[in-house]
A and B are shown apart, each in its own frame.
Chain A
Amino acid sequence: MPPVLELRGMTKAFPGVLANDHIDLTLEEGEIHALLGENGAGKTTLMNLLYGLYQPDEGEIILRGQPVDIHSPSDAIAMGIGMVHQHFMLVPVLTVTENVMLGVESVRNGIFLDRAAAAQRIRAISQQYGLEVDPDAYIKDLPVGVQQRVEIIKLLYRHADILILDEPTAVLTPQEAEELFKVMRSLAAQGKSIIFITHKLKEVLAVADRITVLRLGRVVGTTTPQAADEGTLARMMVGRQVILKVQKKPAQPGDVVLSVRDLLVLDDRLQLAVNGVSFEVRAGEILGIAGVQGNGQTELVEALTGLRPPVAGHVTILGEEMTYASPRAIIEKGVAHVPEDRQRDGLVLSYPVADNLVLNTYYVPPFATGIVMHEEAILTAAEERVRQFDIRTPSVRVPVANLSGGNQQKVIVAREFSRPIRLLIASQPTRGLDVGSIEYIHNRIIAKRDEGTAVLLVSPELDEIMALADRIAVMYRGRLVAVLPPAEVTKEQLGLLMAGATLDGGRRTDDGGQPISTP
């Protein structure tokens, strides 16, 4: 039997970049095929070629033994190819049924929507593949993991039998990811074929039948989970040996740098997002805050950096009350902030690399005297940073928008780390980055810690928290529900805490909001 899908010699060039260079890929029926590669390896380009968003320069797509041309996503869907994007394409104020039927509405008496018939089919699909979902629920009320199920149901509703999942676990808790893997296995067992795009090695080994690794637009090799381990996969992805385990000495905590007492912060909808949080971070230690996104971490960080005034509580930095200080006062106190959304908050994309490197120091010597800026000094410093932090850019005058995500993040890290700082607040510092960049940024954070900087690390990535933090706090619904040393806790236990469960036998503060003492 021929493979359900075959890509032969797929090639796509963009000005200056060969994004896909003669890529071959076969997908068997009922197979979960992982497509693994760093950012910029060409995974997304390849899938966009398959999904009809781009046209290949060379190469052919053979679907069930027949060569086909795919000119648009609607062509792809008609041929049974469906894609779940990283960012969901759902209408929050509509129900599950309405979202699923959007574009392929079933109609009664010519003009009326037949929601009941659609809901019936959705129930049948969810039963068949174990995709539990209430067809009448509104999307806005559903957790992210369930929204993702709705996206998958949308594809199945349209009779897709080749499913492309683009980084599907990026937004999920470990438990939700496990659920997704179950669904994927169930789909595959019933004959659906899945292309699973990711750069997370563990997931690939857990769920894939076969693994194809891309690097710099080419296929490095195809392997199976049985024949490979994290080390070999990482080496294939990056092209060199990667140390996956962060090397670090035990922390030597010094004086308290950041002290937070009973902090209350509201979110944009004026709901209590941070509900009585207290903690301390000492010089030379990393406090990791774990938690599923949307449990108040964003608001907590914004309150600490002066971007969102709290409604009550105290923030003390280096012994000084800074609860209602301006962002600039906090910056000048020696606080560095790596924001969670680098493109929204951390960079001005249209500005050159050099200007982004002085975004919060443009007004001090040597970059300016009075109101006059010194372009030469800014450019010289930028050249120096680019060298020092290995930022890949053709020139410091290039707009930072033209850099890859990893290099954009390096620009932020270079800017924040090259001032004298006492406290580093890093929010998801490796979000969306590849293995090589993650390794680099982790090592930089450890180095800062060892220089005596206090570090507050906020991340939904448990691996990152476990690898870096000297103490782990779990945030759930605006409260810190536990503070634990990494050695005493497993990933599974953290996952449970993140989902709101209590941890029997684990240390846990009674009401979450209680002060947490440092040893």
Chain B
Amino acid sequence: MSEAELKAKPAPRPVEVKAPQLPPLWQRVWRTISLPILSIFTALVLGAVFIVLSDVNVLATYQNFPNAPGAALRATWDAIRLAYGALFTGSVVDPAILAQALRTGDPATWSRAIQPFAESLVATTPYIFAGLALALGFRCGLFNIGAEGQLFVGALASVWVGYSLKGLPAVIHLPLALGAGALGGAIWAGIPGLLKAKTGAHEVITTIMMNYIAFRLSDYLITGPMKRPGFVPVTPFVQESARLLRFFSDPNIRLHAGFLLALAMAALVWWFLFKTTLGFEIRTVGANPNAARYAGISVTRNYVFAMALSGALAGLAGTVQVLGVDYWLGQAFSSGYGFDSIALALLGKSHPLGVVLAALLFGTLRNGATRMQSTARIPVDIISIVQALVIMFIAAPAIIRAIYRVRAEREIGEAVFTRGWGK
């Protein structure tokens, strides 16, 4: 083998090596939302399976399936339609009532038509705040599992300011109460932030522990120092001057100004994260802490700062519920807004707009589930299953991609949802 001569072929014609171009906007939007939408759809389909399985009457028709397959299928269809029909009329609108309202123009009927969706927005409101709290943490690479505890502390702080200060005008009292709620949450989350910065303690562990402290603290306060005179362990009512404005005089429609506050907060968080140097620092720490340090950004200071902001938002989730809906606190008052918001922020891809949309979905499901239980006698737990399935599909996108044959994109996600323990 001795080809000593240079066997150089003619130089290749220049090839057009196309650098990666940004695809058109609609494609990028679809790529972002296709997974959540398909996840929700699949979860509802699987939820239907559980609805059928939990219905003895429908299951009974299947014993006679070979002889009367039609009856079994019809019973199945009816059960699903009844359940999801109730979910829809309970959380969005009952078409019959809407038609009646349109026909008669009667204000009372209108109220009944609007009520389901308005009530869904009421449930959406704390979800938006808590979802923003988680999203902000995720952007800094922090997993704030303690939103629930921060929500408790925020609610306690605001209800205390709300009932104990008397004679203040609303323009002073309401901001004070809101501020107290935010501050309570910020302190409660700032402690794990400090622990992480100073000692490296993982925030998942410390925030979970802070949750327990918050739950027991609220038990103590509500049964002790903050108890209303009487036998029931609940706090006194907050003053009129500290309550969030309600939009409707009908007491059944509890939609309050907190909803607008939540939307404004989402816009503010978006601006803060993407348009300010502070947000740039938080996102840089979240995306690559090594590069952040290299660039002169203090990683530890941003951990404390982001945790405190996240806690403030979670605290506000409890605050708006107290000042806008309940006006007082009882034991174990929160029903998991803080925990649901973990999933919600994941569903919303840690983007404020995504969080608002995901909160709307969770709020609607939560509200509709109650109706589903009362009219269709489907246990509320079905909705928990649907929510859990949505989260599972979001967390394991390979399942959805396999079902719908969606090709995997090379994802360069900015938000880090979970980083390894310890390091």
Contact = CB atoms under 8 A, between A and B. Distances in A.
Nearest to A16: B18
Contact of B18 (A17, A221, A239): A17
A201 interface: no
A362 B298 CA distance: 14
Interface string B284-309: 10011011111111100000000000
Interface in A175-226: 209-210, 215-224, 226
Contacts of A307: 293-294
B226 to A, nearest CB: 38
B414 A351 contact: yes
A269 interface: no
B1 interface: yes
A228 B6 contact: yes
A374 to B, nearest CB: 9
Interface stretch (B249-257, B272-280, B335-343, B368-376): B272-280
Contact of B291 (A236, A348, A393): A348
B9 interface: yes
Nearest to B14: A216
Nearest to B414: A350
B36 to A, nearest CB: 20
A371 B22 CA distance: 29
Nearest to A15: B20
Given A350-B413, A402-B20, A239 B291 contact: no
Given A350-B413, A394-B19, A227 B288 contact: no
Interface residues of A, number: 62
A371 B278 contact: yes
A362 B22 contact: no
B21 A348 contact: no
B56 interface: no
Contact of B4 (A224, A327, A345): A224
Contacts of A372: 275-277
Contacts of A312: none
B8 interface: yes
Given A28-B1, A362-B280, A373 B275 contact: yes
Contacts of B14: 216
B290 to A, nearest CB: 5
Contact of A232 (B6, B7, B9, B22): B6
B1 to A, nearest CB: 6
B15 A227 contact: no
A241 interface: no
Nearest to A232: B6
Interface string B123-136: 00000000000000
A85 interface: no
Contacts of B287: 348-351
A349 B411 CA distance: 11
Contacts of A363: 277
B420 interface: no
B20 A394 contact: yes
B5 interface: yes
A18 B15 contact: yes
A350 B8 contact: no
A337 interface: yes
B171 interface: no
Interface in B1-34: 1, 3-9, 11-12, 14-15, 17-22
B4 A227 contact: yes
Contacts of B3: 210, 222, 224
A16 B291 contact: no
B172 interface: no
A371 B277 contact: yes
A398 B412 CA distance: 11
A359 interface: yes
Which of B19, B22, B297, B414 lies at the interface centre, i.e. has the most chain A CB atoms within 10 A of its CB? B19
Given A224-B3, A327-B293, A368-B277, A219 B18 contact: no
A401 B412 contact: yes
B138 to A, nearest CB: 13
B18 A362 contact: no
A345 B294 contact: yes
B280 A339 contact: no
Given A345-B290, A346-B291, A223 B6 contact: yes
A397 interface: yes
A395 interface: yes
A326 interface: yes
B17 A216 contact: yes
A220 B12 contact: yes
A327 B299 CA distance: 12
A350 B412 contact: yes
A334 interface: no
A50 to B, nearest CB: 21
A146 interface: no
A371 B14 CA distance: 47
A209 B3 CA distance: 10
Contacts of A442: none
Given A307-B294, A350-B413, A371-B276, A394 B5 contact: no
B15 A218 contact: yes
B12 A16 contact: no
Q: Which 7 A-B pairs have the closest CB atoms?
A: A328-B296, A221-B8, A360-B295, A16-B18, A218-B12, A350-B414, A371-B276
Interface of B: 1, 3-9, 11-12, 14-15, 17-22, 275-278, 280, 284, 287-288, 290-298, 412-414
Interface of A: 15-18, 21, 28, 31, 209-210, 215-224, 226-228, 232, 236, 239, 305, 307, 326-328, 330-332, 337, 339, 344-351, 355, 359-360, 362-363, 368, 371-373, 375, 392-395, 397-399, 401-402
18 contacts: A15-B20, A17-B17, A21-B15, A28-B1, A216-B12, A216-B14, A220-B12, A224-B3, A232-B6, A326-B296, A331-B296, A349-B288, A350-B412, A363-B277, A372-B275, A373-B277, A398-B22, A402-B19
